[in-house]
Structure formats: structure tokens, C-alpha cells
Amino acid sequence: MVAWNNLDTLVSYKKLTELAKVDIKEAMTGEKGAERVKKYSVPMAEGMAYNFGAKQVDDDIIACLAELAEEAQLVDKYQELLNGEIINTGEGRMVLHQLCRGQLGTDVFEGEVNKRTFYSDVQKAIAEFANKVHAGEIVAEDGQPYNTVVQIGIGGSDLGPRALYLALENWAKTNNTLKMEAKFISNVDPDDAAAVIKSTDLAHALFIVVSKSGTTLETLTNETFVKNALVAAGLDPKKHMLACTSATSPLAQGEDYMAAFFMDNFIGGRFSSSSSVGGAVLSLAFGPEVFGAILDGAHESDKTAQNADIWANPAMMDALIGVYERTVLGHATTAVLPYSQALIRFPAHLQQLDMESNGKSVNRYGEPVNYQTGPIIFGEPGTNGQHSFYQLMHQGTTIIPAQFVGFKESQIGMDDVIEGSTSQAKLKANVAAQIVAFACGKDDEDKNKEFKGGRPSSIIIGDQLTPRSLGAFLAHFENKIMFQGFTWNVNSFDQEGVQLGKVLAKKVLAKDTDGALAVYSDLLEI
Amino acid sequence: MVAWNNLDTLVSYKKLTELAKVDIKEAMTGEKGAERVKKYSVPMAEGMAYNFGAKQVDDDIIACLAELAEEAQLVDKYQELLNGEIINTGEGRMVLHQLCRGQLGTDVFEGEVNKRTFYSDVQKAIAEFANKVHAGEIVAEDGQPYNTVVQIGIGGSDLGPRALYLALENWAKTNNTLKMEAKFISNVDPDDAAAVIKSTDLAHALFIVVSKSGTTLETLTNETFVKNALVAAGLDPKKHMLACTSATSPLAQGEDYMAAFFMDNFIGGRFSSSSSVGGAVLSLAFGPEVFGAILDGAHESDKTAQNADIWANPAMMDALIGVYERTVLGHATTAVLPYSQALIRFPAHLQQLDMESNGKSVNRYGEPVNYQTGPIIFGEPGTNGQHSFYQLMHQGTTIIPAQFVGFKESQIGMDDVIEGSTSQAKLKANVAAQIVAFACGKDDEDKNKEFKGGRPSSIIIGDQLTPRSLGAFLAHFENKIMFQGFTWNVNSFDQEGVQLGKVLAKKVLAKDTDGALAVYSDLLEI
């Protein structure tokens, strides 16, 4: 059995706080800097690597992080999760998103149902449906094929699938596997749904309503909004609507859907890209094989996360360096900076994944913790960010650790040599330059032009952003965040912080307000 | 003459640090909370209002902020800026973006040239060109009209114009004033340019190359990338390329452009949306009248920023509350949360505007300051964020002050009553609910379901997001950030922190590296 203890009760944590801090500028300068960068690298699935040469650590700190991993039983806890223990204690649920990607623990059952079989069967049903749509066996009212798929969902039903779609849209076009364009409706702002409806060929569009509970206000509202538009266009909603929901939700009982693809309570929204939530829209957009490749890549990451050796477990190394930065060094924010335009919405997905999972002040038992937990995450693709907020990162009064991402090759492969180098070479040169600029800085007599350095960063390096490497990349972060939650002893799998706003919004709509809330309602003319 | 002193030398600042802190939860509860929300509001231009009822301030603190505004001579400094003083000391330049929107100070000259006339003339030239394109008087090689305009620029040449375009795209469609679709190429990642090129009808596209210096690596690379694609498609680049640049830049001398619209050194990239940088693309996309309306709205904001009374100067009130939160209360991060899908990229623009302007550690004279300056800015539209990072904002270990935005009416006007309320009402109910939830929280025996409250926020409330209100909104933030820079005594108008990375990237491309930089170059196979 594993023991769930607060971070500040662990011997290795106390030791960690007492170890000498590293001067990154000094450590990264000259030949010893080169040696560090070569050495401080952990291989990832799908040929990628997590390099932390420019992080504020040294051999002693890493050795202590390894002790912490052991004392906190991180891999044992992960194994318990894989084996179907109730890891989400607040809601009394298993945590099974990894099981969508393959079996790594013992068989897991809900009642009589083997959950691996359940998830596989859902994937097969989606693949069969998608293949029929692509083959023209399932067609719209006019006998013509469907050409667009629109996901109606919010939060985890939107950010992850959208980030994955955008990450592979150009790859799919280039590799002739873009079967249908995908669009997304998320916000309850009527302009969001209206804009999509107005720009979509409704007669040949499939809409996927995604809500695990079947009660999400925004999603049900947008579903009705879309159905009204379909009816107004003389179309039959039953020929255009699919559902991704749990078997017990109101949506599952509806007869209004062409098909319903189930998920369950053991997969949180922000971890649901691997379930039918991501599977339906991505299989329809790219074909089931592409979605399968994403899952395969993710499964490879899940395997590496089982390694007890921190030097062979990139998610655990990344996680513990992050805990050190957040809780020992006190950096509240982390910037996620992919040098890949395709990853434009990945920072928004990671923002949810990380901040919703570990933005907690109580431990698994509901007791307040006395240390800092999950960081604030933000980011934009490079090189764009270099011409924007990097100014503060280089010369501001707050240190922001950075997580860079770079790929050796582009996705589309269209490139030109301009002034002696390709655009891809320029892109890569910039990410390499930024890491060293943040770490080493530059002295200058003019203090306005001085860079103090000492800004820590890591980089994930891959060959190319493909379905498999994207899956591995996604799972790396899911597993990193899981390990961090274990280390902070918080429940990374509930989200009670989203409830109060819902309750108050209902009161406003019911005109059941007083005090400040009533005044804001008046000011906004609700 | 004004005096430029560090914040921590000011009497009113010392007093501010000593004033009792406000308990927001207590202050916002019950009828006194209602009174506060009614009272703590400053009218903005174009019928908007800045409401700070839920900020961690009280009458004493606001009175002290008013003293600070006076002691720091904020309005006097703004007037000097308007009058053409060298406010950007680091680069020895005037700061004139407000002059693009109208004359508020004395006449300003560069040599013999009246700068107001210069900016007006550029706007007229753009309007004339755009009108001819829209009227079919300027046409493509095949005699057909142009249908798409593509901005090639990065940083300030991209984020502001892109945010403004997206903010008005649906408004323009609804009001029949979308003349041409606009697209944007920014990143040096070849997949960015390639994706736009592949999805664009090149034969009928206009490309605007935007670089003040005419030397921006990414932009020149993407310009050549596009020209090569035009040539490969059998088209003449001279029939497709426009330039926005300074009169002295290499681009201005080129004969490769149909027209060049000038800007100058007195308008920084992040403040350039009001210049030809925003003017050309937005006038072509929406028509010159719409761009003119944006400028008019901004000009109204610029006027309110001249008021010495903090209760009549929303930008100054917003600025000083932000300084109080950052430097006295110590909150490093601010979330920008527009409840408007149209403002989806506005947080990214504000991120640049704020972090690049005030992310500085030295004062105007290049001397280190001993206090915290500009905050970290991030954000996403609501209600989307509620299902994502709001968890950490409600229950995490770090307090993140929030800046909400809400409009009474949607842009498109398509809406349905679902379960007794429209989508727009639901949207507004949610923003009202969030403000109160953050401020007041909720007690619960189960600490996992407890909300401590005490999270400060403000809201800007407007009737509808239109060209005029958008302009006023944009200028509000530009002026807020300017006042904050004055208060922190930093130069908000240079950006030396972006230089080092450029230098190192060039070294990488020239293979002139050693140490850590050489290893990263190898790992990335540059």
C-alpha cells in the first residue's frame, strides 16, 4: 500500500530545501555549460527528449528529487491508478484515461464490465461510424456526403480536441488524410455559435454534442441553438447530431442522435482527449487510423512514466523540477513556448490541464496545505512571443521558468532558403538562442541593455509533430501533472472550484439576487 | 516641468503602503457591498464604465491613489507626451500614437513636418487606396477584384491588428461592411506561411509587408516566402505587395510594392494599431469608415485620460489600482477575461502591450528599481475559462487579480431563449456571478468545497462591441499602461529585452557558436 503524505512531511523535501541553489548563469557558461546540456537529458517516447540543461538544478538536486520520487512513491501511486484504485478520492472515482490508450495495469472492472474492453469498443464504434461517413455509406438528407464536423463542448470537451485538431490540420492536409473540416462551438456567447452556424454548410455538417453529465449549461444551450438553426434551414436535427456522453446522462436517453459514443465518470474532462470526446471529432476529421496513432504515441509515453528511475522517466523528471521551481524556489508562473505554429492552442489546453488539476489549496483529505501548489500556465508559439511578452521574461522583475518545444522538421515541408538558411533553421536557431539568452544573459555598462540571465528553461525536442509524437507529447504533460499532484498530495482529478460560479449564475438568471450581485445584474441589464 | 522620480521616493507611496488593507469578502457582503459596487465606477468613453467595486481598495486607498497621481504628475506627463516631449528617453524619441487619433496637445513637428498632418495624410492615402480596391478600380492581373488581404508582420505588426480584426469580423459581416477577408502571417515557422498560402486565392490576394525598420527577420523571410509562391503561381509580386514601413527603411526604397504607407519612429510596434500598421489591413478589410470609427473611439478615450480627477479618468484609476495590486499587495499576475468571443485574441494583444511596455527592472535613467513593476498578463474569453483555469483562481494558493469585460448586447444578434433566458443573458449572468464568487467565496464544512473569497476583480461594461467602443477599449489599455509606466518611472516605450535573442540566433545561423549554444544547435540539427 502507498502512503499519501503532505510534501512538507517528507525527509527528502526538507533536504531539498536545504541544498545550495544553482547559479544558472555560471553553470551554463563555457564548456561546463556544454557538458550540462549534453548530460541533462531524458529520452521520451517517439524519439523525443526532455532536456533540462538550463534548469536551476545540479547533480545533488536531481539526486534529491530522485529520493523524493521514491519517498513519495510516485511510480507506485501511478501503478495503483493504472490498477483501478480510487485515486480521485473527492469524487470516489477511479482515474482511467490512460486505459483508453492501452492496458498497463491489472484488469479494471466497473461491475461486470472490463473497462479496457469498454473503451476499445467505443473506439471501434466510432471508427466504424467514421469510416461509413468517409465512404459515403452514411450521407446527409440530400444523399450527399457530410463535409464538416462541429464539436459542441466546453472546457475539456473543447480545449484538448481543438488543440489536437489544430496541431494536425496541416499535417493531415499534407498527408492527404484530412477527411472533413472540424469546427468548434464552446462559449455561451451567442456570437460564438452564430458565427460557426453562419459559416457552415449546415446541410452537410455533423454536430457532436459533448457533455459527460449531459447537464453542462453552455453545451446544452448551444445544442438547442444549433438544432433551432437546423430546423430553420429545413433540416432534420436527427440527421445531424451525435452525442458523446456517459451512459447514464440525459443525452444518452435521447432519440435525437444518429449515434451516441459513451465515456464514463473515470475520465475527467481535461483528460478526455483520448476518450470518445477526442475520438469522435478527430476520427471524423482525420480518419480513425490517425486517431489510433495519437493513442499509440500516448501509450508509449504512459509506459515510460512507469520507470522508477527518474533518468528514464521524463514525465517524472519534468514534474519534480517543476515542483522544485514552484514550491522551493517560489516561481508562481510557467511559460509554455512551442516553436511550432501548429501548437498554437496547446498552451491553452495545458493551462486547463495544469491549473484545473493542481490549482488546489487542500490535500486529498481536504486539509489545507502549507505550501505552494500548481503554477499559473500561459504561453504563445515562438517566435511570435519573442516580439511580445519575452521582454518581461528577459528584463522584468519576476522570473518566469519556461518550457520550450522544438521540432527538427516542419509539418508541411514547404520552405525556402532565404539569406542562407531555411525558415525552419531560423525557427530552431531562435529557440536555441532564447534558452541561452535566458540562462546566461549579457553584461552591459548601460543597465537598460543588461540581461541578468539566471532564467531557467527546459526544452522538449522532437523530429516532427506527427500523430504519434503529438500523442506522446500530450500524455507527457498529463503524466507530469499527475506526478506533481501526487507530490503535492492534492487530488488532481476533481474541480470543486468551478461550482460556486455556476450556482450564482443560476441565481442571477432566476432573479434571485441581492447585494453586490443584484447591482452587477442591473449594470449588465440582465 | 515634470519630475521623474522612482515610486518608492514618493510620500504618497509610503503612505499607501501603510494604509490598512481591505478585506474584500467583508466589504462585498450584504448591502454595503451593493453600495460599493454602485459607487466604485468611473465612466469611460463611448458609454462604457470601469467598475472596481470588487477591487481590494476603499475610500482611503483611492484618496491616496489620487494623491499619488498628483505627486507623480501623471496627467502632466501625459500632456508632455501629447505635446511631443522626448518621453521615450532610451531611444530619444517622441511618443505619438495618440496623435494618429486626433490632436490633443500643441502642434508637434519632426523638422518641418507637422506630425498630425503626416498621420492624417497617411490615413487619407490608405482610404483612397482601399476605396479604389473596393470599387474595382484597382484590380488583379486578370482584371478581377482582390478578395483577400494578408498582413505579414510579427509582434506589434500582428497582435493588435489581428485582435482588432477578429473583434469586428462578425460585426462587419452583420453590418454588411466586410469588404475583404483578412489573414495574417507572423511566425518564421514555415508552416505558418505555407498554411496561409495554400488556403488563399493568391491571384486575388493583397499582401501587406509590415516592418517599421524594414529589417525584421521573420517578416522579411515571410515576404520572400510569399513572393516565391506568387512567382511560382505565375503571378507578378508587384501586383500583390504593399508595404507599411518608415520612410527611411529599405522597404520604402523598394519598387516592388503597389504602394507604401508610412509610419515613423515615434510609434512603437505594440502601439501601432492606430497607425498605418492597423490602418491598411483594417481599411481594406472593413472599409476606411470603420477604421475611422475605431480611431474616433480611441480619441475619446485619449481625452478622458487628460482629466486630473481620478474619478473622471478611468485609465488612471485602472492604472493605479493595478500598481497597488502589483507593488503593494505583491500580486505578480493579472488575468484578462473578456466575456465576448470576439475578443478572443485581445488578451494576447494586451499581454504584449503590458508586458513589453512595463516588464522592466530599470528606471528611465537606466538605474535599477527596488520594487516590482509590470505584471504577467494572460487570459481567455469567458465563459470558456470558467471550465479551465478558473479552478486555480478560485481555490489555488496564488491570488490572481482579474480584469473582466462584458457587453450588454451581442454583435450578431442571433439568439434563442433556452430554459427561460437568452445565451447573452447567460453570458452576462456568468460574469456577474464570477465577480461575486471571487470576492465573497463560500464557507463549507468540507474544505475541498470551500471558497475563501478575497480575490479582487474589476469589470469594464459596455453596450456592444462596435468599432467606436473597440477603439475606446484599446486606447483605455494603452493609456492605463502608459500611466503605470509613469508611476513606476520606467520607460514603457522601448524594448531592449528583445535584442539579445536576435544576436544569438544570428550566431547560430552563422555557425558561430560554442558551449551550451553549440550543443543546442546540434540537438536541434540546425
A247 band by pLDDT with thresholds 50, 70 and 90: confident
Q: How far is CA A142 from the centre of its chain?
A: 39
Is B193 in Cβ contact with A427 (below 8 Å)? no
Residue B389 confidence (pLDDT) above 80 = yes
- Would you give the DSSP letter of residue A311? G
**Residue of B381, B384, B509 with shortest CB distance to A426:** B509
What beta strand segments (E) does B159-294 contain?
A: 181-185, 205-210, 241-246, 259-263
pLDDT at residue B261, as a whole number:
96
CA distance B335 to B326: 13
Q: In sequence order, what DSSP letters do the residues of A33-75 get, joined into one string?
A: HHHHHHHSEEE-GGG-EEE-TTSS--HHHHHHHHHHHHHTTHH
Q: Which three cell numbers stand for residue A286?
A: 482525420
Q: Is B502 a catalytic residue?
A: yes
CA distance A421 to A424: 8
Residue B39 confidence (pLDDT) above 80 = yes
Is B372 in Cβ contact with A398 (below 8 Å)? yes
- β pairing state of A148-152 and A181-185: parallel
pLDDT at residue B253, as a whole number:
78
**Residue of A34, A381, A427 with shortest CB distance to B516:** A34
Query: Quick count: other Cβ atoms within 10 Å of Cβ A408?
Result: 15
Is A155 in Cβ contact with B525 (below 8 Å)? no
Q: Which of A363, A369, A387 to mutate to test the interface with B (most CBs of B within 10 A)?
A: A387
Angle, CA B206 vertex, CA B200 and CA B208 arms, to 5°: 115
B4 band by pLDDT with thresholds 50, 70 and 90: very high
Is A397 in Cβ contact with B53 (below 8 Å)? no
- Of chain B, the end-to-end C-alpha distance in Å amounts to 53
Interval A220-227 mean pLDDT: 95
Element (H, E) at A341: none
- Angle B423-440/A499-509 helices, nearest 10 degrees? 130
Count CA atoms within 13 Å of residue A261 on its CB side: 30
> How far is B262 from chain A, CA to nearest CA, in Å?
21
**Residue of B31, B222, B506 with shortest CB distance to A515:** B31
Query: What is the rounded (10 degree) CA torsion for A273, A48, A341, B501?
Result: 140
CA distance B485 to B322: 11
> How far is A407 from chain B, CA to nearest CA, in Å?
7
User: What residues of chain B lie within 8 A of the CB of A381, using their CB?
Assistant: 187, 189
Q: How far is CA A94 from the centre of its chain?
A: 20
> How far is B107 from chain A, CA to nearest CA, in Å?
31
Q: Is B356 a catalytic residue?
A: yes
Signed CA dihedral, A81, A85, A87, A92: sign only: positive
Specify the amino acid at residue A437. A
B300 band by pLDDT with thresholds 50, 70 and 90: very high
Contact B261, B206 (CB under 8 A): no
User: What residues of chain A lie within 8 A of the CB of B360, using their CB?
Assistant: 391, 395-397
Residue B252 confidence (pLDDT) above 90 = no
B359 band by pLDDT with thresholds 50, 70 and 90: very high
Q: What is the pLDDT of residues B449-468, one digit of tens each?
A: 999 999 999 999 999 999 99
Q: How far is CA B74 from the centre of its chain?
A: 20
pLDDT at residue B395, as a whole number:
98
Alpha carbon distances (Å) from B85 to B274, B305, B313, B479? 20, 17, 22, 17
pLDDT at residue A252, as a whole number:
81
Q: Which residue of B has its CA nearest to A168?
A: B191
- Mapping DSSP to helix (H, G, I), strand (E, B) and coil, where does residue A268 land? coil
Residue B493 confidence (pLDDT) above 80 = yes
User: What residues of chain B lie within 8 A of the CB of A237, using their CB?
Assistant: none
CA distance A396 to A438: 12
pLDDT at residue B9, as a whole number:
98
Q: What is the pLDDT of residues A464-494, one digit of tens each?
A: 999 999 999 999 999 999 999 999 999 999 9
Q: How far is CA A53 from the centre of its chain?
A: 24
Interval A448-463 mean pLDDT: 97
Residue B254 confidence (pLDDT) above 80 = no
Residue A280 confidence (pLDDT) above 90 = yes
pLDDT at residue B99, as a whole number:
98
Q: Which three cell numbers stand for residue A163?
A: 488543440
Angle, CA B362 vertex, CA B358 and CA B367 arms, to 5°: 155
pLDDT at residue B251, as a whole number:
83
Contact A358, B391 (CB under 8 A): no
CA distance A375 to A325: 9
Q: Which three cell numbers stand for residue A54?
A: 538550463
Q: Which of B32, B351, B500 to mutate to test the interface with A (most CBs of A within 10 A)?
A: B500
Query: Quick count: other Cβ atoms within 10 Å of Cβ A454?
Result: 18
Q: Which three cell numbers stand for residue B225?
A: 516566402
Contact A369, A490 (CB under 8 A): yes
Q: Which three cell numbers stand for residue A515?
A: 447585494
Alpha carbon distances (Å) from B133 to A53, B146, B170? 53, 7, 21
pLDDT at residue A403, as a whole number:
98
User: What residues of chain B lie within 8 A of the CB of A500, using their CB?
Assistant: 394, 437, 441-442, 451
Q: Which three cell numbers stand for residue B284?
A: 481594406
Element (H, E) at A333: strand A333-339
Residue A322 confidence (pLDDT) above 90 = yes
Active-site residue identified among B223, B300, B356, B478: B356
**Residue of B221, B441, B507 with shortest CB distance to A418:** B221
Q: What is the pTM of this model?
A: 0.97
- Mapping DSSP to helix (H, G, I), strand (E, B) and coil, where does residue B90 land? coil
Q: Is A181 a catalytic residue?
A: no
What beta strand segments (E) does A85-174 contain?
A: 109-110, 113-114, 148-152
Would you mind telling me the total number of residues written for chain B in this entry? 526
> How far is A474 from chain B, CA to nearest CA, in Å?
17
Q: Which residue of B has its CA nearest to A513?
A: B433
Beta-bridge partners for B241: B207
CA distance A224 to B451: 32
Q: Which residue of B has its CA nearest to A420?
A: B509
- β pairing state of A376-378 and B333-339: unpaired
Beta-bridge partners for B407: B462
Query: Quick count: other Cβ atoms within 10 Å of Cβ B420?
Result: 9
User: What residues of chain B lie within 8 A of the CB of A155, using their CB?
Assistant: 384, 386-388
Name the residue with higher pLDDT: A1 or B367. B367
Active-site residue identified among A46, A356, A380, A478: A356
Q: How many CB pairs under 8 A join A and B?
A: 509
CA distance B320 to B326: 10
Specify the amino acid at residue B386. Q
Task: State the residue for C-alpha cell 502507498.
Answer: A2
Interval B2-26 mean pLDDT: 98
Residue B37 confidence (pLDDT) above 80 = yes
CA distance B404 to A286: 37
Contact B241, B256 (CB under 8 A): yes
Q: In sequence order, what DSSP letters do the residues of B353-395 get, joined into one string?
A: HHHHHH--SB-TTSPBPSS--SPEEE---TTGGGGTTHHHHHH
Q: How far is CA A497 from the centre of its chain?
A: 19
Q: Which residue of A has its CA nearest to B339?
A: A189
Q: Name the least confident of A21-35, B253-267, B341-355, B509-523.
A: B253-267
Q: Which residue of B has its CA nearest to A166?
A: B195
pLDDT at residue B63, as a whole number:
98
Name every residue whose Cβ is closer than 8 Å to that of residue B19 and which is 6 or more positions away in sequence.
B60, B61, B64
Beta-bridge partners for B68: none
pLDDT at residue A525, as a whole number:
97
ipTM: 0.97
What mean pLDDT, rounded, does chain A reach? 97
pLDDT at residue B256, as a whole number:
85
Residues of chain B with pLDDT > 90, as a percent, come to 97
Q: Which three cell numbers stand for residue B357?
A: 511596455
> How far is B43 from chain A, CA to nearest CA, in Å?
12
Active-site residue identified among A18, A112, A255, A387: A387
Residues of chain A with pLDDT > 70, as a percent, come to 100
User: What residues of chain B lie within 8 A of the CB of A158, using their CB?
Assistant: 384, 387
Contact A104, A303 (CB under 8 A): yes
User: What residues of chain B lie within 8 A of the CB of A169, using their CB?
Assistant: 195
